[in-house]
Amino acid sequence: MFKGNLWTGSTTVLAAIFLILVIGTTVLNFQNRAIQAEVNQRQQYISQSAQLSQIDQLLIRSLATASVKNAGIKQLLASVGLNVTYQPDTQSAPTGPTSNSPTSTPSTSAPVAPAKPTAPRK
């Protein structure tokens, strides 16, 4: 009889321990899903911010290019703190047609914008 009670008692304790472990695992799983959803939202925000940053840069370059010929756009950019400077190209390519370029060093990997906006230093 003594061995039966010991066996029954030990299996009951083991079953209780396993039940606690299952409950703990379930709770941790739900918490992990909530944290993972939050991380996914932050990652999406970072990804969208990078895309919008590229669009912002292209838009500012386009406005800077237009401001070379339009004083109103130049004043608008200056009102938000962007000063546009125009640097005509003094180098001419011997094999290609000559054109005015805003920068003195052409880039080989990306097209060069006609004007470069500069933010005021604080």
Distance CA 109, CA 37 (A): 38
Give pLDDT, residue 95: 54
Q: What is the pLDDT of residues 20-70, one digit of tens each?
A: 999 999 999 999 999 999 999 999 999 999 889 989 889 888 888 888 888
Summary mean pLDDT of the chain: 77
For residue 101, pLDDT over 60 is answered with no
pLDDT at 120 over 50: yes
32 vs 80, higher pLDDT: 32
What's the mean pLDDT in 58-86? 86
End-to-end CA gap in the chain = 87
